[in-house]
Amino acid sequence: MSRQPKGTRTLGGREGERIERCRKVFFETFSAYGYQPFYAPGLQLFESAWEKLPPRFRKRLIPVYTPSGEPCFLRADLTLAAVAYLSSHFSPQERPLRVCYAGPLYRAPIPPETDFEKMQFGAELLGWEGQGADVEVIALLLRSLRRLGIHSPVVVLGHAGFLRESLSRLDRSLSSTLTMALLERRYEAFFDALGEAHLPGGADNPLFRLPYLRGNASRTLKEANLLFGETQPLRDLALIVGALEELGLGENLRLDLALARELGYYSGPVFEIFSGSAGFSLGGGGRYDGLLEQYGIVGQALGFGLDLRTVASLSRFEGPTPAVAWCGQLSPRVALERADDFIASGYRIELSWQENREGAIQLARSRNYGWWIDLPACTAYPLDSMDEEETGC
């Protein structure tokens, strides 16, 4: 028996197939819009990454040493590697720059989760400040999910700048207590702290409505404008919502103006992705500038990461029909040529070279395939009835 490290898993069979399909759809959708595939090393140097990682992240790193004695950690984040790559391999004149990536990430799990290895797909768009960038990334993300047959994906939009502005007039300690409560999603603690602060207007202070500002995008924006005035972050969100609605993606949108995602890291619109069939967020992202500054880049970037395994588990797609093709006495050349004909007409073929015809049928049954192909006779049979169905060559 070969044991595997706790917290890791081998992904194969149907699950492996689904993950690969999802990866392919994401890459196809994003690379068609100029996002270049990017492969980062599996290790990151402590000295280059430590200061750039959000503090809550640092406790979850898994340290290792390279054979040359350099202290590193297993890749915990792909954004960092993507920004480092874009800032060092391209000149400022080449921006905006787009990359997409897929690969494993390693972070100490937070219970009740147990896996420390996750597969992630992500994309980053660096160097474009306008809303076009937000709309582009969110629209491509939703298109990919739809292509994967994921039932009604929902993007929940918030704005780091809106939260920061709303809390900025409070004293620093109260503001940080409220921020932490929102970050940890402890709304009860948020209201307790607000109540104890005796703010002007008492319970009518707009901040008491903040966790209620969620749901339908247009309705929420309207209420937020009435309570907080038409601030720049709300105008940003209105433009993004309007553009996504024009693209026919309105039903996939919700707003949550109390959405806090690493407030020190994100600077503008942020989002999380949900699907009715999954219990938790599939991933999320947003606009950031601080990280770029640390790489000497003035401007903003936008990115997201999705848990590929969760997305794969929700995906529904009609792939090619899997079948075992019996080669009989055919020469390999003829067998492969005939198999090509079946593949062209929508089959995924597994060749069976055994002489025994029954053995090939059994193999198809053991694989739970619906079809069996007799290549010498150029005929496909459904396994449940064995009625002759299709001639493919």
Partner 1 sequence: MLTLCLPTGRVLDEAVEVLENLDIPTLRLRDRGRSLVIQEGDFRFLLAKPMDVPVYVHYGIADLALAGSDVIWETGASLVELADTGRGVCRIVLAGPKKVAARFLGHESRLMGLRVATKYPRIAEAFFADRGIQVEFVHLNGSIEMAPRLGLSDCIVDIVQTGSTLKANALSVIAEIAPVSLKFVASCKSLQLAWDGIKEIIGKFSSSSRKAGDEDGKAV
**Residue 211 binds to partner 1 (criterion: CB under 8 A):** yes
Stretch that binds partner 1, among 136-144, 182-190, 323-331, 380-388 (CB under 8 A): 182-190
**Residue 156 binds to partner 1 (criterion: CB under 8 A):** yes
CB–CB of 100/26 below 8 Å? yes
CB–CB of 349/343 below 8 Å? yes
**Residue 362 binds to partner 1 (criterion: CB under 8 A):** no
**Residue 192 binds to partner 1 (criterion: CB under 8 A):** yes
E strand or H helix that includes residue 179: helix 172-183
Stretch that binds partner 1, among 90-98, 117-125, 211-219, 228-236 (CB under 8 A): 211-219
Stretch that binds partner 1, among 11-19, 134-142, 273-281, 308-316 (CB under 8 A): 273-281
* Residue 50 beta carbon to partner 1: minimum distance, rounded to whole angstroms: 21
**Residue 280 binds to partner 1 (criterion: CB under 8 A):** yes
CB–CB of 254/156 below 8 Å? yes
Of residues 248, 21, 310, 284, the one with CA closest to residue 144 = 21
Structure tokens, 51: 């200061």
**Residue 214 binds to partner 1 (criterion: CB under 8 A):** yes
Give 320's DSSP letter. P
**Residue 55 binds to partner 1 (criterion: CB under 8 A):** no
Report CA-CA distances (Å) from 334 to 169, 262, 320, 339.
Answer: 78, 60, 22, 8
Among 130, 276, 319, 346, binds partner 1 (CB under 8 A): 276
Stretch that binds partner 1, among 183-191, 234-242, 293-301, 332-340 (CB under 8 A): 183-191
CB–CB of 252/258 below 8 Å? no
| Cross-sheet strand order for the sheet of 301-307 | 36-37, 97-106, 117-126, 301-307, 283-288, 266-274, 154-159, 253-256, 214-215
Stretch that binds partner 1, among 23-31, 90-98, 165-173, 269-277 (CB under 8 A): 269-277
**Residue 212 binds to partner 1 (criterion: CB under 8 A):** yes
Among 279, 296, 318, 366, binds partner 1 (CB under 8 A): 279
Stretch that binds partner 1, among 141-149, 163-171, 179-187, 336-344 (CB under 8 A): 179-187
Tell me the β-bridge partners of 382. 371
* Residue 364 beta carbon to partner 1: minimum distance, rounded to whole angstroms: 36
Structure tokens, 371: 């079809």
User: What secondary structure, in 3-state letters, does 87-135 show?
Assistant: HHHCCHHHCCEEEEEEEEEECCCCCCCCCCEEEEEEEEEECCCCHHHHH
258/335 with CB nearer partner 1: 258
Site for partner 1 in 91-110 (CB under 8 A): 110
* Residue 186 beta carbon to partner 1: minimum distance, rounded to whole angstroms: 4
Structure tokens, 127: 């160097």
* Residue 214 beta carbon to partner 1: minimum distance, rounded to whole angstroms: 6
* Residue 212 beta carbon to partner 1: minimum distance, rounded to whole angstroms: 7
**Residue 112 binds to partner 1 (criterion: CB under 8 A):** yes
**Residue 221 binds to partner 1 (criterion: CB under 8 A):** no
- Distance between alpha carbon 249 and the CA centroid of its chain, in Å? 18
82 exposure class (CB count in 10 Å sphere: 0-12, 13-18, 19+): buried
Count interface residues toward partner 1 (CB under 8 A). 25
Among 18, 98, 159, 254, binds partner 1 (CB under 8 A): 254
Report CA torsion sign: 329, 332, 334, 335: positive
Give 226's DSSP letter. H
Structure tokens, 11: 């992904």
Stretch that binds partner 1, among 121-129, 137-145, 208-216, 357-365 (CB under 8 A): 208-216
**Residue 189 binds to partner 1 (criterion: CB under 8 A):** yes
Q: How far apart are CA 268 and CA 136, in angstroms?
A: 15
Give the footprint of partner 1 on this chain (CB under 8 A): 110-112, 154, 156, 185-189, 191-192, 211-212, 214-215, 254, 256, 272, 274, 276, 278-281
